[in-house]
Structure 1
Amino acid sequence: MNSKAEYFARYEAIAALSGRMLTAAREALWHDLIGLQDEYRRLVEALKEAEQGVKLSDAERMRKYDLIRRILADDAAIRDLASPRMARLSRLFSGASHPARVLQELYGAR
C-alpha cells in the first residue's frame, strides 16, 4: 500500500470507529465505548506514523479535513451524550463520605 493510501485508510478507520463510538454512546453502552476508546487511541498513534513525509494535494487536503470534521462532530456528540451522566456522577460523589456506598446505590452492587 502506498503511503497516501495507507494514510487515508487510517483516517477512514478512525472516522468509522468514531461512528461506532457515537452509536455506543447513543445506546448508553458505556462499557463498550471505553473499549472502543482504546482502539481509537491505537489508530491515532498509527496515524502519526503514517503521516511522516506525506504531501497532499489540495483535493487530498480537503478530503482529510472532511474526515477530521466528521471525527470531531462524532466526538462532540459523544461528549454531549456523556456530559449529563458525568455531571450526575460528579454530584453523587461530591460531598460523599462513603464513595463505596454511592457505587452500591448507583449499580446495585452488594
Structure 2
Amino acid sequence: MTTDLLTYYEAIEQASADMLNAARTGNWDEVVKLEGACVLLISQLKQAAHQQALAPDDARRKTRIMQRILLNDAEIRNLAEPWIDDLGHLIGTSATVVH
C-alpha cells in the first residue's frame, strides 16, 4: 500500500523535472502550469499520507526523491531570478513614472 504513497512522490518529482526543463527553455507559462499540477499532487499526497505510513525502505526512497525535487526547485529558482529581477525593474520604473 505504501507504493501508492510513493507514486505521489514520484509524480511530484516528474512534474518538478518537467518544470525544470520548461524553465531551462524559458517556457514560464509551462512552469506555472506544472506548478499548479504539483499543488494538486501535493494536496492528494497529504490526504494519502494521513491514511498510510511508509515502511523504512520506502521512507529512504522518499528522502532521495525529495532531495532531487529540492535540487530541481533550486535550479528553477536560479533560472527565474534574472526574470524576477527584470520584472522588479519594470515595476520599479513604472512606479517611478507614475509618481
TM (normalized to structure 1)?
Answer: 0.81
Q: Which has the higher helix share?
A: 2
Corresponding residue for residue 7 of structure 2? 9
From 49, 68, 71, give the equivalent of 1:70: 68
Unaligned runs of 5+ in 2: none
Report the AA paired with residue 22 of structure 2.
A
Corresponding residue for residue 104 of structure 1? none
Unaligned runs of 5+ in 1: 99-110
Corresponding residue for residue 102 of structure 1? none
Say which SS state the counterpart of residue 52 (structure 1) adopts: helix
Point out the more displaced range, 12-21 or 88-97: 88-97
From 14, 19, 26, give the equivalent of 1:21: 19
Bigger Cα Rg = 1
| Shift of residue 42, structure 1, vs aligned partner | 0.3
Tell me which stretches of 4 or more aligned residues in structure 1 moved more than 3 Å. Answer: none
Query: Could you say what the CA RMSD is over the residues aligned between the two structures, in angstroms?
Result: 1.2
| Shift of residue 55, structure 1, vs aligned partner | 2.7
How many angstroms apart in 1 are the aligned matches of 2:26 and 2:44? Answer: 28
Corresponding residue for residue 46 of structure 2? 48
